[in-house]
A and B are shown apart, each in its own frame.
Chain A
Amino acid sequence: MGEARVIPIDKHVARGLCRGRTAGGRPCRNRAGESGYCRRHEPAALATATAEVEDRSRFEVELERLLSFTRRRMTGDYAVDDFGFDADLTENVLIPMLRPVYDRWWRIEQKCLENLPSEGAALLVGNHSGTLPWDALMMKLGVFEGIGRHCRLLAADLALRLPIVGELARKSGNTLACEPDTVRLLDKGEVVGVFPEGFKGVGKPFRERYKLQRFGRGGFVEMALKTGAPIVPVAIVGAEEIYPMIANLRPLARLFGFPYFPVTPTFPLLGPLGAIPLPSRWMIEYGEPIPTGGFGPDAAMDPMFVFNMTDQVRESIQQMLYRNLMVRRNVFF
């Protein structure tokens, strides 16, 4: 290791000093760069300073990223928005954890990504299926992989009430499916994802697969009309087969306070192993955006208009589903 490099400081230019310490333990008096350290003390620069020619290996980059993430978590040094979205945790932990499931387990293929806006608000409306809402998570990840934006999902209060699940749901940017939150997010220019079928869709029996259920009460259309955010229909093929639900034990569901209690070929027969979803092959298609601006402020107040638009969205998702099912050769390959 060479001698300490003296970096000339122009005190008039210097806005802050380095946060590091010298070998003697005194605070370093060098000028700080963007990171708050001088060039010598900056953790990223250490490798280049010591090993002069050697490029920093991938290992070091990863190590540095991991350590600095750990430090941020240990000192609470990260930003969250009012809804509780913690981008630091989502991008560094949750998304990397889900990526293998997305790439390897379900081998998700995305179509027509150009229909997703690169900026501004949009309301993504998808079909809901699969007993557990994996499809919502995969769509969220798909949007991030496709256009690098975080899709803010609208969830049921049951999900937000559960320990750990509720906490992670909030931290990954999701919120309660209710009008004030949705309008607030769309007004902020976020991409919002909603599954209007709700529990009716996610908890429907296997024999009704790919048949869209009633689309709520059209609330999502009202909110899109109020904010002028375009509606992007999304068809998700493959999620219906992950836990084929052959029966619903209603008494048990009532006992636990769940909307349904599924019986699948593996659950509850194999116990916790039944929670492993089947590795179907997925396809996510984004449909042409349906503009909602320009109908005037009264459109959201006109129930007939809202019903028609709801049907239009539902119909376009159903068509996309059929189209993709036609080209699918096999559920698993």
Chain B
Amino acid sequence: MTKQRVLITGVSRFLGGRLAQRLEADPDVEEIFGVDLDEPTVELTRTEFVRADIRNPLIVKVLQATEVDTVVHTAVIATPARVGGRAQMKEINVIGTMQLFAACQKAERLRKVVMKSTTAVYGSDPADPSIFSEDMSPASHPRGGYAKDAWEVENYARSFGRRRSSVLLTILRFANFIGPVIDTPLTRYFSLPVVPTALGYDPRLQFVHENDAIEVLYSATRQDRPGTFNVAGDGIVYLSQAIRMAGKVPMPVLVPFAGLLGSMVRQTGLVDFSPEQLSFLMFGRVADVRRLKEIFGYTPAFDTQEAFRDFIGKRKLAKVFSEEQAERWERDLFDFLARRARTRVSPAEEEA
């Protein structure tokens, strides 16, 4: 097999950048091209940075000039704040992907496309099965925000796959990313000292550790693994449980007020909370990772709880309430109450 030539979109973002680094270390990858609008944030040695906008039809020139055989599309973005609003985000996600796939169709040498997607395409609804496998279609497809973009983008990818059936198409549906470095709305949410939750609801969450995410992207790039795969750590964690593990204090909010609170939080710029995430914070979602393990051949090194513990451990989040404190209180309280009970009992015994 000839050496691989890879083009990565979204290289200035965390996953794209780290994937480029990972590929740089592999001598069988001949050349790596990174496409984005901003300079890469991580240090790259032999990756060639191409400042280009995937929304611009000129992207086809980039694909042809670089003669890549693999395109890794990670430039589907989840948060509107950094790019200047929801309209802009949709433009980048949907129009950008359309243009990219249009260009891919014209690139003769192309033989593989790897796309980053999200389990958010399954939505969050109690009328859906508890655990989603890749071939299930949810009761209702997401109607807004990132999840809707991701669903539309996946559809473009699939129709591209039908038009050029010789190109291998891998769609990776990632659960929520977590880890010591990655910055997502969820990591910032868990960094708040008091974490707002929906009163009366406790969603099941599933995380994928950033290292596992990069490994999966890397294997999908290097090996041929066509198909759609859920990518997540084993097991789940309840939102309330995660908040406790992080040593934070949950603040349950009545659901009708949650939207209001969300926009207030958004104003502070701490957490980029968009309204469609409310149903996620009410009902959560869990995806089945059997296919990833058995067909894709990758078992995540971190399960959901380990990934979360790695996040809280390495970030050194300020704990409002720590395990050591809890253990000390448990012992002290036990000592105190047990001794009191004993002194109350023993005089009575003496009398008798």
Contacts and interface: CB of A to CB of B under 8 A. Distances in A.
A67 interface: yes
B127 A176 contact: yes
A162 B200 CA distance: 8
Nearest to A160: B126
Contacts of B328: 21
Given A74-B321, A76-B245, A82-B286, A181 B131 contact: yes
B323 A77 contact: yes
Contacts of A80: 204, 235-238, 241
Interface string A156-167: 010011111011
A144 B10 CA distance: 53
A51 B235 contact: no
Nearest to B255: A163
B129 A84 contact: no
Interface stretch (B45-53, B60-68, B337-345): B337-345
Given A60-B338, A180-B133, A70 B126 contact: no
B214 interface: no
A184 B202 CA distance: 22
Contact of B243 (A76, A157, A166): A76
Contacts of B200: 162-164, 166-167
B202 A171 contact: yes
A163 B331 contact: no
Given A60-B341, A82-B286, A163-B200, A75 B326 contact: yes
Of B335, B337, B338, B345, most A-chain CB atoms within 10 Å? B338
A82 B130 contact: yes
A18 to B, nearest CB: 11
A46 B335 CA distance: 8
Contact of B242 (A63, A76, A78, A184): A76
A74 B244 contact: yes
B67 to A, nearest CB: 44
A68 interface: yes
Nearest to A47: B338
B224 interface: no
A86 to B, nearest CB: 7
A181 B201 contact: no
Contact of A86 (B238, B244, B286): B238
Contacts of A54: 342
Nearest to A84: B204
B136 interface: yes
A46 B341 CA distance: 14
Ranked 10 nearest A-B pairs via Cβ: A163-B200, A76-B244, A76-B245, A160-B126, A157-B127, A76-B241, A164-B200, A180-B129, A161-B126, A71-B330
30 contacts: A20-B331, A47-B338, A51-B342, A60-B341, A64-B334, A68-B330, A71-B327, A71-B330, A74-B326, A75-B321, A76-B242, A76-B243, A77-B245, A77-B323, A80-B236, A80-B238, A83-B130, A84-B204, A160-B126, A161-B126, A161-B127, A162-B200, A163-B255, A164-B200, A171-B238, A175-B130, A176-B128, A178-B129, A181-B131, A184-B130
Interface of A: 19-21, 41, 43, 46-47, 51, 54, 57, 59-60, 63-64, 67-68, 70-71, 73-78, 80-84, 86, 157, 160-164, 166-167, 170-171, 175-176, 178, 180-181, 184
Given A76-B240, A77-B245, A171-B202, 10 more contacts: A75-B244, A78-B241, A80-B241, A84-B130, A163-B255, A171-B238, A176-B127, A180-B131, A181-B130, A184-B131
